[in-house]
A and B are shown apart, each in its own frame.
Chain A
Amino acid sequence: MLRFPNPGSTIDNFVSVYSAAFERLNGYTVNLDNIVSAVVAANLATSSGYMGEKAVARSTRADRSRDPLYNQLKMYAELFRTLGWLHPIPQSALNFTFTLLGKQVVAAGRDFWPLLEECVLGIVYPTPILTVRGDFDLRPFAFILCVMAACDGHLSRDEMIIGPLSAPSDRGQANLDSVVATIKAARKSAADTNSSVAAVSVARNIQVNTLQNYTRWPIALLRDLGWATRRQARFRDGRKYQTFYLTEKGQALADRVFASVDLRVNDAARLTPEECKALAVVAHFRMLERSGFDIAPVGGRLADAEAVVVPVLERLGTDGRNLLFSPFQSLSLGEIAAAFPVHAQTEQFEEGASRAAVAAAPDGRDDRSHLFVPPNMVAAEEAGSGGPDALRVELNGLLEAHGSIEVAAAVFAEYHARDTQVAFYPLVTHLFQILGYKSDYSRAGVNYQRWDAYVMVDGCALPIEIKSPTEEIMLSTKAVRQALENKVILLSRGGLETRPELASLIVGYRLPNERGEMSNLIDDVFKAFSLRLGVIDLTTLVHLALRAMRDGVSIDDRQLSQLRGFLGV
């Protein structure tokens, strides 16, 4: 199956990103870092919520695979290459230059849509430049249009997966017929469609939602280019489903595709270098002409090229106007360079001093160590004796069975991975009770307060926002924001004794892997309002409870009430 990355943005923005990079870097050989900097400088992206130079610094992490901005732009770059706007340099696939085609997209300004349309139709596999997994002989978007037209004028996301995106080839009527047959069979019912998708999923060993992700960019294009609109259709069993119908424009384009001469890489390979060069010139400028560019200034060059290529075109049965062939997306770097010589010498783009001046921590983040708080355990009389007997028995049993607190805590957490609120809220308060603190939770419906539970420390209440694993396995910033509101409401409405400087707690099943966003929130809130937000995950809380039972210690009450950041063992 063809895998288009999903850059998660509108097509408008997608083109803006290219323009921003082009305007800052055209004429240079660039790498992804350069593109990241350019896009950030144009205010088109952020890294973990940071903007401008700070964002660039944050994006300089040692572990690139975890940097969201870098990853996002990697996807953009892949799509820019697919569209023929960015080419790798012959010496390295990680360094790129901007192409003449891309330059014309930028030059079109707000009217880039028709040229984008041409580039989308120009996407073709295989090409000498792009390496894609799998063996395809496909012009995917032209094929999608043809399949739509042949399937009652519409195609749903799932049908795209089982149909045109999974086809190895779109050459010849037989291939079209077979894809149409697959889709028509799946239209019997939702179950039939689902099982066809599942079959693709199994055959390719790709999860269904990943398959669906691959359709997002194609669907965004169909929609934003005005080729298709979303409407409902019915399965043959009468049930409705969402699908994409060809618009008038889409239908007209499908007709054009049917009537075009589709030239592929192996066709071009049969030409002499002279013919190939001339064909590239003709195809490229005709494409621009269709996109509303004034090609009169290159009239002479076009006429010369046409003279060379006339016999070739005649052989193919076209006058050059209804040709599906985008040279920047189909030819090798050498052939393109021959047809469109680049005048300006390109050099490797050197980062300005500004970039180097931005000091970054080794992994690119600001120092967040102040937010990771190891518990300070102190001897406490009440530790280990509170809470319901049954829970203490359960914990003791686990400790005896596994010998180590780490393992016992992990096993306990595993047992509770499917707890709903009804079980999880009391559990959290019981664990605090084992630690020797008074703690209680609110019963749904009787809560003018917002907190889910509280823990009393030294006569004052710390409100607790709880997320059970069935609500969210990993805590989100949403929970942290709710804890902030809990604190404000408790301070305003009273009901329990508290003080502004005491923490508002969040307890959930697990901490998120990427804690940057949550850390920012906790830091920003403290800086602006001096309010403390403390986050504890179930395993940590159980770990502390086990220590309370085994060693008669508990977490220092000052540390708990002043907690800001993540408590971790």
Chain B
Amino acid sequence: MLADGRTGVGTCLGCGNTPCMEKNESELTLFGALDAFPGDPSHDVCPTRAIRWDGQNSVAFVLTDDCIGCGLCISRCPYGAISLEDGLTASVEAADPAGLAITGPAMGEHPEVNRSGQIATLDVPAAANLPGKVGALDDGRTTLLVRNLLNEVGLNARTRRRGDTNVRIDAVGFSRSERPFVAEIETGTGVLESPRALIEDVAVLHSRYDYPVDEIDPVSIILSFPNVRSEYYQVVRDIEKVLGLRCRTITIGALVALLWHCATLDGFDGDAFTIGEGTIDLAECLGLDDAKLPEPYPGAFRPVR
């Protein structure tokens, strides 16, 4: 709704700094010493570069074939000009169907992104497509997707620069209470390797940045929970028992669920996203206050039986 009371579908105003496409420098800065972590310098919002700039008409547009329907660009447009068309891929409204724009393109700063409402419900086709689409992304695009999802749900995060074989930690950052976390991103079959890599990540962060071991939260970011009988759960419990490290697990589906609900994530403190002896259900950790939150795809919230 506009100040004069008119409402309607937003339209792309071609704002000069295109938040739907680019992140600004300050979003990529990390607190304190961790800012020395060599990260992916990409400012791209879209993990697949599907959203582009049409210089002729001064509007954004989406290459539908490349869009994986993650919703990142949608959440960043201050004018609500992008939506998930047919619940599948992003689409920029440029025609101003409700006749809301009065002046020409606003080539300047845009108002702070202010999100409310919901981008889509978790039962749209884009949600079900995530495992296939994300699973097919290459390493660089996957980490970009994860970084941007973490950022949009409110976490200070940076992912490893692709090609830097010296740094093995996939991502670092801070929860909202400014506790550092380290993350391993694994969307393929290597999920079993994440826990041991996380032990190393904690050791590296401790020895090179001097954060106490028990103040670092190790997080495994995966696409889908492995089968209930997978060794993964047992190894995570072994690590907690022997080293006192509580490895958390969060899925890309859960991050997308938060994004689509325009919700934030506090971080990985306390019991959040841990794997205890009981049943695992991320729907309960997301704080989305929706009694019947549908699982976007099998394995997104709960291990497959």
Hey, which bits of chain A sit against chain B, CB under 8 A?
8-10, 12-13, 16, 43-52, 54, 68, 110, 477, 481-482, 484-485, 488-489, 491-493, 500, 517, 520-521, 523-525, 527-529
Most chain-B Cβ atoms within 10 A of its Cβ — which of A43, A484, A491, A493?
Answer: A43
Tell me how far the C-beta of B166 lies from the nearest C-beta in chain A, rounded to whole angstroms. Answer: 4
B-to-A contact residues, CB < 8 Å: 22, 35-43, 140, 161-164, 166-168, 195-197, 199-200, 202-204, 206-208, 213, 235, 237-239, 241-243
Q: Are A46 and B166 in contact (CB under 8 A)?
A: yes
Cβ-neighbour of A492 out of B140, B213, B241 (below 8 A): B241
Complex CA distance for A492 and B238, rounded to whole angstroms: 5
B38/A517 in contact, CB under 8 A? no
Cβ contact within 8 Å between B162 and A484: no
Complex Cα–Cα for A549 and B26 (A): 66
Task: Establish whether residues B38 and A528, one from each chain, have CB atoms under 8 Å apart when the complex forms.
Answer: no
B168, B200, B213: most-surrounded residue (chain A CB, <10 A): B200
Q: Are A528 and B164 in touch, CB under 8 angstroms?
A: no
The verdict on A9 contacting B162 (CB below 8 Å), with A49-B167, A489-B238, A524-B206 known, is yes
Q: How far apart sit A500 and B35, CA to CA, in the bound complex (Å)?
A: 34
Q: Given A47-B166, A529-B203, answer yes or no on A488-B238 (Cβ-Cβ < 8 Å).
A: yes
The CA-CA distance from A465 to B56 in the complex, in Å, is 61
Contacts of A52 in B (CB 8 A): 36
B235, A529: Cβ atoms closer than 8 Å: no
Is the Cβ of B235 less than 8 Å from the Cβ of A13?
Answer: no
The SS class assigned to the A binding surface is helix
In the complex, the answer to whether A12 meets B213 with C-beta atoms within 8 Å is no
Q: Judging by beta carbons under 8 Å apart, are B239 and A51 in contact?
A: no
- Please determine whether B41 and A12 come into contact, CB atoms closer than 8 angstroms: yes
Q: Are A51 and B242 in contact (CB under 8 A)?
A: no
Contact B242 A492 (CB under 8 A): yes
Contact A9 B163 (CB under 8 A): yes
Closest-by-CB residue of A relative to B53 is: A111
Contact B200 A51 (CB under 8 A): no
Q: Which residues of B have CB within 8 Å of A521?
A: 200, 203
Contact pick for B140, options A10, A45, A523, CB 8 Å: A10
Residues of A within 8 A of B37 (CB): 43, 51
A524 and B203 in contact, given A46-B38, A481-B196 (Cβ under 8 angstroms) = yes
Candidates A9, A492, A500, A527; contact of B207 at CB < 8 Å: A527
B206 touches A10 (CB 8 A): no
Contacts of A49 on B, CB cut-off 8 Å? 166-168, 204
- Are B161 and A528 in contact, CB atoms less than 8 angstroms apart? no
Q: Which residues of the other chain, B, contact A47 by a CB distance below 8 angstroms?
A: 166
B199 and A50 form a contact (CB under 8 A): no
> Chain A residues with Cβ under 8 A from B162's Cβ?
9-10, 13
**CA A492 to CA B197, docked complex, whole Å:** 18
Contact check, A45 vs B164: say whether CB atoms are below 8 A apart. yes
Nearest 4 A-B pairs (CB), nearest first? Answer: A492-B238, A528-B203, A524-B203, A485-B196
Which residues of B sit under 8 angstroms from A43, Cβ to Cβ? 35-39
Is B35 within 8 A of A524, CB to CB?
no
Q: Among A54, A110, A493, which residue has its beta carbon within 8 angstroms of that of B238?
A: A493
**When the two chains form their complex, are residues A12 and B42 in contact, meaning their CB atoms are under 8 A apart?**
yes
A1 to chain B, nearest CB (A): 24
- Extra A-B contacts (9), CB below 8 Å, given A13-B41, A43-B37: A44-B161, A49-B166, A481-B199, A488-B238, A488-B242, A489-B238, A492-B237, A524-B207, A527-B203
Cα–Cα, bound, A45→B164 (Å): 7
* Complex: A9 Cα to B139 Cα, angstroms: 12
Docked complex Cα distance between A256 and B220 (Å): 49
Chain B residue contacts of A50, Cβ below 8 A: 166, 208
Q: Select one of A484, A488, A491, A517 contacting B166, CB under 8 A.
A: A517
Q: Please, which residues of chain B bring their CB within 8 A of the CB of A523?
A: 207
B213 touches A529 (CB 8 A): yes
Distance in Å: Cβ of B284 to nearest Cβ of chain A: 26
Contact call A16/B203, Cβ cutoff below 8 A: no
CA of A481 to CA of B201, assembled, Å:
11
CA distance A492 to B199 in the complex (A): 15
Residues of B within 8 A of A8 (CB): 163
Of the candidates B39, B41, B161, B167, the one having the most CB atoms from chain A within 10 angstroms of its own CB is B41
Chain A nearest CB from B28 CB (Å) reads: 10
Q: CA of A525 to CA of B207 in the docked complex: distance in angstroms?
A: 9
Of A9, A46, A54, A484, the contact of B200 (CB 8 Å cutoff) = A484
Q: Identify which of B167, B196, B204 contacts A524 (C-beta below 8 A).
A: B204
Interface contact A527-B206, CB-CB below 8 Å: yes
* A484 partner residues in chain B, CB cutoff 8 A: 196, 199-200
Q: Across the interface, do A110 and B22 meet the contact criterion of CB distance under 8 Å?
A: yes
In the bound complex, do residue B235 and residue A489 qualify as a contact, i.e. CB atoms below 8 Å apart?
Answer: yes
List residues of chain B with CB within 8 A of the CB of A491.
238, 242
